A and B are shown apart, each in its own frame.
Chain A
Amino acid sequence: MRDLLRIASGQGFWGDDLDAPVRQVEGGPIDVLMLDYLAEVTMSIMQKQRARDPGAGYARDFVPLMSRIFPAVAERGIRVVTNAGGVNPRGCAEALVEAGREAGVAGRVRIGRVEGDDILERLPELIAAGHALENMETGEPLTSILDRVQSANVYIGAAPIVEALERGAHVIVTGRSTDTALTYGPMMHAFGWSPDDHDRLAAGVVAGHINECGAQSTGGNCLADWWTLPDMATVGFPIVEARPDGSFVVTKHPGTGGRVTRRTVTEQIVYEMGDPSTYITPDVVADFTTIRLDDDGPDRVKVTGVKGGPRTPFLKASIAYSDGWKATGTLTYAWPDAVAKARAADRVLRERMDRLGLVFDEVRTELVGWDSTHGPLAGEPPADLPEVQLRIGVRGPDRSAVERFTRELAPLILTGPPSVTGFAGGRPRVQEIMAYWPALIRREAVEPGLAVDVVEV
């Protein structure tokens, strides 16, 4: 049994720093590299990509990344655990096998893939079996929007990751695993934690939460004393040094930028937090009010004391459905009386849209540079504001109305209030709205369908 497991975070979302995982591998000793690629919206984007190309539907950046770090995986035995598989873990794993052969690690690396979280094809069968998949916020049954569903995945826990590690996988690709399971799954495997060991699993969940947004726990986006954070150009991503008793230290590689303090870690702990005493995951319910943080030297924070309780009978489904169209455009107005000009332009635009008979569910106007983030708390703008950006958006079920809106902005330059610029980006893009439908489903409807496969490169 090992006494220490170092789990490095290399990616906090699809689009994060491309070189961070390589810096984690090259910057010092690590045992596991976890890469989180998924967010609520990501699955529906991937589902659309897969509809156009059956080979797509996963985080494509992950394959060229692995080409760079396959040698380290083969030579140092680093395990890589990621939900990069998106809606196509199989396609992702196949691409990885090919990339591994090209990288010269054939016969030395095994790829594990986890499938079964994708319930899109199973929805009619599940509904017929009595799983209503009611919206957790509104209580409506899924049947009310079933014909518009674009993706449906269930957040799954660590069991398949543990199984893949037991079967010798070096790289594990999942679909909608929870972000935290990518960190505590390897801890369960390394330390032999049982699924009933609630406190240790809860500690692993806290470690996973600290890891899952990359540099957001090491100084990135940190408000406290942000101007003093050193070398953010080379910010170090977090590394969890986990111990078998459930305690762990959050740190980063020596010589990297950013900082690890109780403040940087606490900001990440409260990020996207609901009821802190009841942080529900597929494997355990963690109590974040029991976390104890202590300084443990420079750029080291020790985490102890975490308590947890038994898992619930349910898993959470993440369902995305088409819910109309939207577009947002901007124009910039200059001093003098920038705000007055922007407001007059907004009025002209709205009157023209009314005359055209365009109907929307919402038309929203914000003044970037004044009230677009704090709303009414910004108060009335000063008369001498040097400039302001008019930001206007529309949303509705009728695509052609939204499309027409995008053609009404540019005309304002020659037909509306003066001193206007900033239209170089061209006409706004019409976007399809993918709304989010959170629902619970009994775990026995999903867990028997989870499948782990391990193949040699």
Chain B
Amino acid sequence: MTRVPLVHLAHARSGDKGDTANVGLIAYDPAHYPLLVEAVTVEAVKAHFTGLVHGPVERFELPNLHALNFLLHGALGGGGTRSLMNDAQGKVFSTALLRMEIDVPDEVAAAVRGRGRVPAGWTPDRYGSP
């Protein structure tokens, strides 16, 4: 097994409802969805967000979209216009989850290496090119 950050296995988007941030975590490869279900548990996510999320964490499964949805309560400094946070609406909470590392089989780790990151040598004048 090899430890791999989620950024290589999944993409994500987050939003807000009051003081709760949601993060939808979507496997790039449907075959890797069970790895997320197994490792990205409520307990693991709560531990990952220590000091950033102050309330409970809920998890919902969307196997049809090979996605997990997390509700992170007490994450936005009061939420809405009350929050003093730069990310008051939790817009980039998704990327904070993608820092989390999980154990995956070595062959999976090899297959996803570099996935989810801008390729070496890419420059903004190539925006829009694979």
Contacts and interface: CB of A to CB of B under 8 A. Distances in A.
Interface of A: 40-41, 137, 221-225, 227-232, 257, 263, 266-277, 288-293, 305, 323-324, 326, 328, 362, 364, 366, 368, 372-377, 391, 393-395, 431, 433-436, 438
Given A228-B128, A438-B18, A376 B82 contact: no
A89 to B, nearest CB: 24
A268 B13 CA distance: 8
Given A266-B67, A293-B65, 15 more contacts: A41-B80, A223-B95, A229-B128, A266-B24, A273-B24, A290-B64, A368-B86, A373-B86, A373-B95, A374-B52, A377-B48, A377-B49, A434-B81, A435-B81, A436-B18
6 contacts: A137-B18, A266-B26, A362-B77, A377-B52, A395-B82, A434-B80
A229 B127 CA distance: 7
A428 to B, nearest CB: 12
Contacts of A263: 11, 26
Interface of B: 11-19, 22, 24, 26, 28, 48-52, 58, 60-65, 67, 69, 71, 77-82, 84-87, 92, 94-96, 99, 116, 118-119, 122, 126-130
B86 A391 contact: yes
Contacts of B52: 374-377
B64 A395 contact: no
Contact of A227 (B11, B49, B122): B122
B65 to A, nearest CB: 5
Contacts of B28: 224
B122 A270 contact: no
B64 A373 contact: no
Contacts of A364: 77, 84-85
Contact of A394 (B15, B58, B79, B84): B84
Query: At the interface, is chain A mostly helix, strand, loop or mixed?
Result: mixed
A372 B119 CA distance: 26
Contacts of A41: 80-81
Contacts of B122: 227
A391 B83 CA distance: 13
A313 to B, nearest CB: 22
Contacts of B82: 323-324, 326, 395, 433, 435
Contacts of B49: 377
A271 B85 CA distance: 20
Contacts of A375: 51-52, 96
Interface centre among A266, A394, A395, A438 (most CB of B within 10 A): A266
Contact of B86 (A221, A269, A366): A366
Residue among B22, B26, B87 with the highest chain A CB neighbour number at 10 A:
B26
A362 B96 contact: no
Contacts of B62: 270, 276, 288-289
B102 to A, nearest CB: 15
B128 A276 contact: no
A321 to B, nearest CB: 11
B22 A272 contact: yes
Contacts of B118: 227
B84 A362 contact: yes
Contacts of B64: 289-293, 305
A374 to B, nearest CB: 5
A341 B52 CA distance: 24
Given A232-B127, A438-B18, A276 B69 contact: yes
